[in-house]
Structure 1
């Protein structure tokens, strides 16, 4: 790996990037410095695990050093000032060098100096011992308290009565939906939104009511009236007689996270393109032994079939592939479909304990 070329690629990456040799940091890009406050001199030769929140160290170690590239991970990284930030990370291995790429996540929020998550918001207003027949009785008597508390939350928050009519929307919900205060009161989704959106909202409301459990889902908006992507949670409320009395819901804007996922997918493709430029053949074999993906410049016929059938004439290669599914990595001179090649068989462990394989081949040229 050319370190100068790699550093150039990492600097062009739209997110944090760091390069490791074994488990020590040898390079960080400028976005890592800007977001987390470190200079190159602060972290060079530092064991990377020292920057990772203890709760995430096991997953980070597995995702970077044991099974690089196997899956995306969410990790808390310490800022130089002692706080931490959330990132989605992907890791890639090139011999003894590891490249870690990440996008920042904003999954936690603060209000009144308390950490607030979606679960906290919901649980604060759920009481299955309510001695009322409709949640409107509570909202009406405590409206000012609700407004004071919930207008300060950086999430959309709303309450519906047992007839699916809106009783309360917090300030950020009003702004996102471009509604005037109280214009929603005692109106249902069909009064306020397009029919397709109203049907979607009602469908998930009914799912929560029917199951008597919280439902959580990702909502993709097709209209500019809403943000592009939100993560929605809905909790049905029942009184002490187990009678449905209303619905409490909130939604968090995850458009930036979805955008990051798309960018990561593009970056992963770019890295695969780099990988393809280094090898003449790249074959992906799933945990059942079937070929799912292939790249080859040699016009070889692999098809999407079991590797033992595909390479049945090549006993040496089969032996190494069999070992690969048991977790053994190999690097050897052999043949692929009769073509002499430098071959690498690299196993990657899945979370369920199964192995998948990558077969890399570079033609031997005289």
Structure 2
């Protein structure tokens, strides 16, 4: 079994130290082997700064699994990085991008079991010429190069009590009804249903489709989008044999009894999905990107520049991301995207 490839994200954030902290808990939590794609000098410097007693072994992906029990495997980057906790630097951007690219390449070649990415900061990447809005779009670009055609990445927040997916993501709330359309809901729901079967091991996935407006529009009296956009999507999905229900009032979808009736909530906009997900699993929710030809998970938090290097960062979400990546790799039944 190959190890999981971990990119440390922005090295000025908490990525390096939560990766180290996760390795230190490997025996206690029985974590699957993983290796870091990082500048070994930076990882050693961060371990010293935070007082983390962690032996580090510079290695190759092929040898990482054998080394993991005794030392934290680090596959070195070609681009060296500066350890400046809390101070994002454009000069570190090349290494950050390289780590993501190599993690994806190793996963696609079968040299890594899955990809786990720590948080990145967009500004230093933009300052260095990075042209993608964020992690997800860059991963989709790398997947498209590999496959020879475009892919639709789907963002899932997966926690122990709830899985949610936003159909629209980083746009202003006023733009949501202008952008939202039936085909987008259908395509994202198809990708989700397939992933729940082939990665999560759910034989007959149940999708709860949220309405856009209060009370799911209440028959059109609070907005027509639920009847003209959301309901037709649900009808198409049901016609394809997908167990989809909706549009459902979002204010009654997330209590315990309601959650027991579905496997994922398809939400119409960012906060409709992320508020309940983070409320129910702030420390152990995981960001999963569906629709890619490789498994990718990520902690559900940011770079936390304000506490980087202080030793205060908790590795809980990264540990959850590592565990879920291992689980999805074990469950995988077929090629994720072709």
Question: With structure 1 as the length reference, what TM-score do the two structures score?
Answer: 0.24
Name whichever structure is richer in strand by fraction: 1
Larger RCO (alpha carbons 8 Å, 6+ apart): 2
